[in-house]
Structure 1
Amino acid sequence: MTFRPVKSLSEGDFTLEGAGVHLYRAFGFHKPREFDPFLLFDDFRNDDPEKFAGGFPWHPHRGIETITYVLEGEVEHGDSLGNRGVLGAGSVQWMTAGSGILHQEMPRGSAAGQMHGFQLWANLPSALKMTAPRYQDIQGSDIPEIVDDDGTRVKIITGSFWGQRGPVDGIAADPLYLDVSVPPNTRKVLPVDTHANTFAYIFAGSGAFRDASRPYGVRVEKEVKGEEVNIRDMSGNRTLVNFDTGDEIVVNSGPEGLRFLLISGQPLQEPVAWHGPIVMNTREELLQAMQELRNGTFIRDGRQ
């Protein structure tokens, strides 16, 4: 087994999206190759409805898949193909935009007014850019959860892990998407595919990703000359951990435990031409998509 070292740590940047939704963007737009096949990752959470109630009104997508994971509150969604639904706490929607779709996503807080969810964009390979759109709405009760002997809990959204497979299937990037909770002061080894790009996103507690015997709480910094990379191996809330190559990740949780998403996928290694919610391979394909939006032919079954 080969331990995956941390390549970089970063914190999400505050931004506004949709009709004024307050969120933190861990990555997006500027690093399509670094996280290939993933394009963007947003963390939207708030207990003030004024900061999320405007939601994400009607907008187009083409050439990508969007993955929405709701922890608290609800997200009501609808699209140009006539689909309607509500994502409740613990549920996941995996939308393959393919050749094109118009949709909206409207967050609603819990009874206490809280909203928390994540959205990940995954690129589609050129051969599937214009595939037919489809949805996979998965209820939280249908997501398998494994509890290990030391109390570590892993929800498997997609991919195979510890002998079980998540309910989302048929995804081009063959990704692994896990929700991992590690008890306080626990060392855990998690297997990953050597050839997949892998990152973790911490959203509760704190911890370190390292293969070492030194006590928790020792902060180690590594400076890479000429690259100005400063790596802290102890991290906390809203931290994105980008891993180098290897086939296992070692987690050391802090005194409050650690909860994070662990996501990996096979890189497509294809050119990326990106404008807003549309991601194609060439500028010409982008221009065609924009023209079709203007002339009403964006949705391939004729509905807008």
Structure 2
Amino acid sequence: MKVIQQLNSHATQDGDGVNISRIPGFDGKYLDPFLMIDELKSDDHSDFMGGFPAHPHRGIETFTYIIKGGFEHQDQMGNKKAIRAGDVQWMSTGFGVIHSEMPLADAKEGMHGFQIWLNMPSAEKLRAPRYQDTTEAPAPVTRNDQGVELKALAGSWQFASEEQVSSLQDLAANGMLADVTLPAGTEFKHAPLKQTKVMLYIHTGEINTEQGGPVKAGSLLILEPGSDIEFNSQTGAGVLVLAGEPLKQPIAHMGPFVMTTQAELHQAVRDYQQGKFGTL
């Protein structure tokens, strides 16, 4: 496995004072087609109790994955769902979405989850929004003889001689995501993916790669295009695998809106202010 870049998350806040760790990519330099990786991981309710009250989006896809705890999602399209541990929720916001994500009252054991932003091709940024989650079609899991698990969060994956097909397909930029869990003293191997951009985000424990010492939680490894995927963990680890095809297009970003030009960005703000996104 060839790692060409390592990035580390940094602490910040979003929503109503929610403490998160973030790796931003709005400059398009390293993460394309992904825009942002946010991780919420805390057993202290004060870190996340404010949640994410109603807010808009345009021009992106948002991907929420919950490992522990849960949020209630609600949007102007009429969707209202409890997203709990193991669930994934995906919105292709297109022309515009207004939604909220608030902590579930019964999430007593803390919170661990992600919101990941994926850019949309310029030509699709104004199409109708779409929503899907895995509450009725859970993400499939494959376990090999070492106990290493791959959970197919989005897209189709081949692991341990089995194909796992997530109910979430057709993400922008051929996006795919999986969560890999390694018990202590095991390794993960996967053939090269077809996407040009493949990244590993360590969210639990630490891993070792052939290039050097341990890589701790909160780190993102960007792989050389066409590289195989191979790492091990002596202590146990949880790793998100993210893959997509770079869009190589300009990024105009302002808060919850991501467009291609400044003129499109200003139009997004006007449309939202004029109520064209609808109401929650």
TM-score bucket (shorter structure): over 0.9
Counterpart of 1:281, as a letter, is: T
- 1:38-187 mapped onto 2 (5 Å cutoff): 38-108=34-104, 112-139=108-135, 142-162=138-158, 163-187=163-187
> How far apart are 1:235 and its partner, in Å?
0.7
Deviation track 1:248-279 (CA, whole Å, cap 9, x = no partner) reads 1111212x122110111011111111111101
TM-superposition CA deviations, 1:30-58 (whole Å, max 9, x none): x4231111000000021111221111111
Structure with max Cα Rg: 1
Structure 1 residues 111 and 60: alpha-carbon distance in aligned structure 2, compared to 1, 3 A threshold: closer
Separation in structure 2 between the aligned mates of residue 111 and residue 52 of structure 1, nearest angstrom: 11
Moved more, 259-268 or 163-172: 163-172
Counting only pairs closer than 5 Å after superposition, residues 201-212 of structure 1 correspond to structure 2 as 201-210=201-210
| Aligned equivalent of 1:193 | 193
* Contact 1:74 1:89 (C-alpha < 8 Å) held by counterparts: yes
In structure 1, how many angstroms separate the alpha carbons of the residues matched to 2:195 and 2:70?
Answer: 35
Return the match for 1:250 from 230, 239, 244: 230
Q: Conserved in 1, the CA contact under 8 Å of 2:137 and 2:167?
A: no
Percent identical residues: 38
Structure 2 counterpart of 1:244, one-letter code = E
RMSD: 1.9
Q: Which residue of 2 aligns with 1:12?
A: 9
Distance of 2:106 and 2:79 partners within structure 1: 23
Cα 1:111/1:95, change in 2 over 3 Å: closer
What's the offset of the Cα at 1:237?
1.6
Aligned to 2:254: 275
**Which secondary structure state, in structure 2, belongs to the residue aligned with residue 290 of structure 1?**
helix
Cα offset, 1:157, TM superposition: 1.1
Once the two structures are superposed, residues 129-160 of structure 1 have per-residue CA deviations (whole angstroms, 9 ceiling, x without a partner) of 01111111112862110011222110001122
- What stretches of structure 1 of length at least 5 have no aligned partner? 212-219, 221-232
Cα distance change of structure 1 residues 289 and 112 upon mapping to structure 2, 3 Å threshold: closer
Contact 1:6 1:210 (8 Å CA) reproduced: no
Deviations 1:81-106 (A, max 9, x none): 33211101110000111100111111
Deviates more, 1:18-27 or 1:181-190: 181-190
Is residue 204–residue 238 contact of structure 2 (8 Å, CA) maintained in 1? Answer: yes
How has the CA–CA distance of structure 1 residues 257 and 133 changed in structure 2, closer, same or farther, with 3 Å as cutoff? Answer: same
Q: Tell me, what secondary structure is at the counterpart of 1:142?
A: coil
The answer to whether the Cα contact below 8 Å between 2:25 and 2:31 also exists between their aligned partners in 1 is: no
What is the distance in 2 between the residues matched to 1:258 and 1:102? Answer: 35
Maintained 8 Å contact 2:55/2:99: yes
Distance 1:28 1:107, change over 3 A: farther
Q: Compute the displacement of 1:288 (Å).
A: 0.7
Counterpart contact for 1:210–1:252, Cα < 8 Å? no
Q: Normalising by structure 1, what TM-score?
A: 0.85
Q: Write the distance in 1 (CA, Å) between the matches of 2:244 and 2:126.
A: 21
The 2-side partners of 1:104 and 1:45 are apart by 19
Cross-structure match for 1:235: 215
Distance 1:108 1:185, change over 3 A: same
What is the aligned partner in structure 1 of residue 243 from structure 2?
A: 264
- Residue type of the alignment partner of 1:55: G
Report whether the alignment pairs 1:287 with 2:271.
no
Deviates more, 1:31-40 or 1:12-21: 31-40
Q: Distance in 1 between matches of 2:42 and 2:185?
A: 28
Contact 2:195 2:243 in 1 (8 A): no
Contact 1:61 1:102 in 2 (8 A): yes
- Tell me how many residue pairs correspond in the alignment: 276
Letter of the 1:151 partner, please give it: G
- The TM-score with structure 2 as length reference comes to 0.92
Q: Which moves more between the two structures, 5-14 or 55-64?
A: 5-14
2:275 maps to: 296
Task: Evaluate the alpha carbon distance shift between residue 110 and residue 234 of structure 1 in structure 2; reply closer, same or farther with a 3 A threshold.
Answer: farther
Partner SS state of residue 289, structure 1:
helix
